[in-house]
């Protein structure tokens, strides 16, 4: 693709190969060169536009849903969702296979909501039959919390299977689709859930500053009085916004303006499907090139998300992640440390204003950086491959 819209770092800044904040287009940055009054009709119209455009991404099933934007980073909105939709006497089943699942559990600790944690370790996916079993053994559980793409390893969790198990048992699903929404379809007509959250600075390619919840209207209605936080009360934010067209407290006006521009560009590109296809192509070019250099991915192909990829660090004695990072940065690419507990790894994001040409340059930069370090083989240690064998034993994603 030689799309000349994809020329983000004209300003000489490095590409952010990170899962948000990420590299945004020049036009998204440019949309922030104006001040808006939060009370003014112009800004109210922008808030309305933003909500409608986000709802439209849900497709046919959108009429049962409403959109509530909320100030803060993604974690704030996850906290708002959990505190608003899980009643004080409710109980959650948290499905964790990485940092974000664990963070959801930690959030429930703060909120004082009861929960059971299914912790699958660094990356192994929670599966439908496990959910079925836990729910059948514990009738007190009211809600299941799932992470769509677990960004800490890059795995795409089997959300449809999890949803089916949840609703077959008569419980409700809440989804953290922070790093996938806008690039991977999550249509309520295909996959049932009560609410999903994401934020401005991930696959829609805006800048950081707010998140949003897309939730069933009857759940929003029922959320009244559940939250023990003033600023994170989704029912209150929703009711106020519907009544006045305004955010309850100072909105991130410039971030909203940039986000609307990002949504226009998302639509012009062809929506969720086209955005996802570009990212998948980024991933394929990156993974093929890195494997050619001798790097190995944590996950087998069928589990690799088009969002971010985990690579094992080479075993070679001259490899040092900090030096590798600095060399990559000098060549124009910011990569991301890994989050595995057993073996050393690093991550490369596929999202943001980048196409396959950029990904080819990333591979060239990695190759040059290895040479400069005197690393003659990118092969990982044996322990890494043993780690991977655990997942290979799992059935293919349905």
Ligand X SMILES: *Cc1c(COP(=O)(O)O)cnc(C)c1O
Q: How far is the CB of 297 from ligand X (least distance, A)?
A: 18
* Residue 20 sits in the site that holds ligand X (CB under 6 A): yes
- Minimum Å gap between C-beta 313 and ligand X is 22
Task: Please tell me the distance from the alpha carbon of residue 141 to that of residue 86, in angstroms, as a whole number.
Answer: 10
CA distance 195 to 201: 19
> Does 310 help bind ligand X (rule: CB under 6 A)?
no
**Using rule CB under 6 A, residue 178 touches ligand X:** yes
- 69 is a site residue for ligand X (CB under 6 A): no
Binding residues for ligand X, how many (CB under 6 A)?
A: 13
Q: How many residues does the chain have?
A: 398
Give dist(CA 78, CA 393) in Å, integer.
Answer: 32
In the complex with ligand X, which residue's Cβ is closer, 102 or 329? 102
Which residue, 119 or 368, is less far from ligand X as judged by CB? Answer: 119
Q: Which stretch binds ligand X (CB under 6 A): 40-48, 58-66, 69-77, 316-324?
A: 69-77
From 175-183, 234-242, 345-353, 364-372, span contacting ligand X (CB under 6 A): 175-183
Look at phi and psi of residue 121 and say left if phi exceeds 0, alpha if psi is from -120 to 50, else beta. left
Please identify which residue in 43, 85, 100, 312 interacts with ligand X, judged by CB under 6 A: 100
Output the smallest distance, CB 122 to ligand X, in A. Answer: 15
The packing angle between helices 74-85 and 99-111, to 10°, is 50
Q: Dihedral of the CA atoms 392, 393, 394, 398 (nearest 10)?
A: 70
Interface with ligand X includes 151 (CB under 6 A)? yes
Among 179, 237, 253, 297, contact with ligand X (rule: CB under 6 A):
179
CA dist 261 and 50 (Å) reads: 10
Query: CB–CB of 344/321 below 8 Å?
Result: yes
Between CA 268 and CA 177 the distance in angstroms is 22
Q: How far is the CB of 208 from ligand X (least distance, A)?
A: 7
Among 73, 246, 323, 367, binds ligand X (CB under 6 A): 73
> Quick check: 74 binds ligand X (CB under 6 A)?
yes
**Interaction residues for ligand X, span 186-205 (CB under 6 A):** 199
Asked if residue 123 binds ligand X (CB under 6 A), the reply is no
Judged by CB under 6 A, the residue of 24, 25, 71, 75 near ligand X is 75
If one asks whether residue 206 binds ligand X (CB under 6 A), the answer comes out as no
Please name the residues in contact with 382: beta carbons below 8 A apart, sequence gap of 6 or more: none
Residue 304, classified by CB atoms within 10 Å of its CB into exposed (0-12), middle (13-18) or buried (19+), is buried
Q: How far is the CB of 72 from ligand X (least distance, A)?
A: 8
Closest CA to 327 of 364, 301, 355, 356: 364
Write 299-302 long-range contacts (CB < 8 A, 24+): 299/123, 299/153, 299/154, 299/155, 299/388, 299/391, 300/388, 300/391, 300/392, 302/396, 302/397
349 binds ligand X (CB under 6 A): no
**Residue 268 neighbours by CB under 8 Å, 6+ apart:** none
Of 67-75, 233-241, 298-306, 362-370, the window that binds ligand X (rule: CB under 6 A) is 67-75
Whether 206 and 200 have beta carbons less than 8 Å apart is answered as yes
The one among 16, 17, 18, 19 contacting ligand X by CB under 6 A? 19
Indicate the residue whose CB is closest to ligand X.
74
Say which residue the tokens 């991404």 belong to. Answer: 57
Of 211 and 380, nearer to ligand X (C-beta) is 211
Instruction: Return the residue matching tokens 């060169």.
Output: 33
Least distance between ligand X and beta carbon 378 (Å): 27
Query: Does 231 help bind ligand X (rule: CB under 6 A)?
Result: no
Tokens of 88: 């004080």
Q: Taking the complex as a whole, how short is the minimal distance between the CB of residue 73 and ligand X, in angstroms? A: 3
Decide whether 176 or 355 has the Cβ nearer to ligand X. 176
Q: Which of 57, 147, 204, 220 binds ligand X (CB under 6 A)?
A: 147
- For residue 198, give the H/E element and its range: strand 195-199
Residue 80 or 147 having the CB closest to ligand X: 147
From the list 132-140, 172-180, 270-278, 310-318, the region that binds ligand X by CB under 6 A is: 172-180
Phi, psi of 362 (to 5 degrees): -65, -45
Q: Which residues bind ligand X (CB under 6 A)?
A: 19-20, 73-75, 78, 100, 147, 151, 176, 178-179, 199
């Amino acid at each position: 693709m030689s799309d000349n819209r994809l020329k983000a770092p004209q300003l000489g800044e490095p590409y952010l190969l990170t899962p948000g904040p990420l590299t945004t287009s020049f036009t998204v940055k440019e949309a922030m060169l104006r001040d808006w009054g939060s009370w003014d009709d112009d800004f109210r119209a922008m808030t309305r536009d933003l909500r409608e455009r986000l709802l439209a991404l849900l497709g046919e099933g959108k009429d049962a849903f409403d959109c509530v934007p909320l100030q803060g980073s993604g974690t704030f909105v996850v906290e708002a969702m959990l505190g608003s939709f899980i009643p004080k006497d409710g109980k959650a089943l948290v499905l964790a296979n990485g940092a974000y699942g664990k963070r959801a559990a930690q959030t429930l600790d703060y909120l004082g909501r009861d929960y059971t944690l299914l912790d699958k370790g660094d990356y192994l996916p929670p599966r439908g039959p496990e959910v079925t079993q836990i729910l059948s053994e514990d009738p007190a559980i009211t809600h299941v919390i799932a992470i769509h793409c677990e960004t800490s390893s890059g795995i795409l969790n089997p959300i449809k299977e999890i949803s089916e198990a949840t609703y077959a048992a008569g419980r409700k699903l809440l989804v953290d689709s922070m790093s996938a929404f806008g690039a991977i379809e999550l249509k309520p007509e295909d996959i049932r859930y009560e609410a999903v959250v994401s934020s401005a600075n991930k696959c829609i390619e805006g800048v950081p500053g707010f998140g949003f919840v897309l939730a069933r209207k009857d759940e929003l209605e029922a959320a009244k009085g559940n939250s023990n936080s003033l600023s994170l009360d989704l029912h209150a934010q929703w009711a106020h916004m519907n009544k006045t067209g305004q955010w309850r407290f100072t909105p991130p006006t410039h971030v909203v303006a940039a986000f609307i521009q990002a949504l226009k560009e998302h639509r012009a590109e062809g929506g969720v499907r086209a955005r996802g296809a570009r990212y998948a192509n980024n991933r394929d070019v990156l993974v093929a090139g890195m494997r050619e250099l001798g790097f190995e991915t944590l996950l087998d192909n069928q589990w690799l998300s088009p969002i971010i990829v985990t690579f094992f660090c080479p075993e070679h004695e001259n490899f040092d992640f900090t030096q590798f990072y600095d060399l990559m940065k000098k060549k124009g690419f910011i990569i991301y440390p890994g989050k595995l507990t057993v073996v050393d790894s690093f991550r490369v994001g596929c999202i943001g204003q980048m196409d396959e040409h950029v990904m080819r340059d990333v591979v060239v930069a990695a190759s040059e950086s290895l040479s400069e370090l005197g690393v003659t083989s990118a092969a990982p240690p044996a322990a890494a491959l043993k780690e991977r064998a655990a997942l290979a034993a799992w059935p293919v994603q349905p």
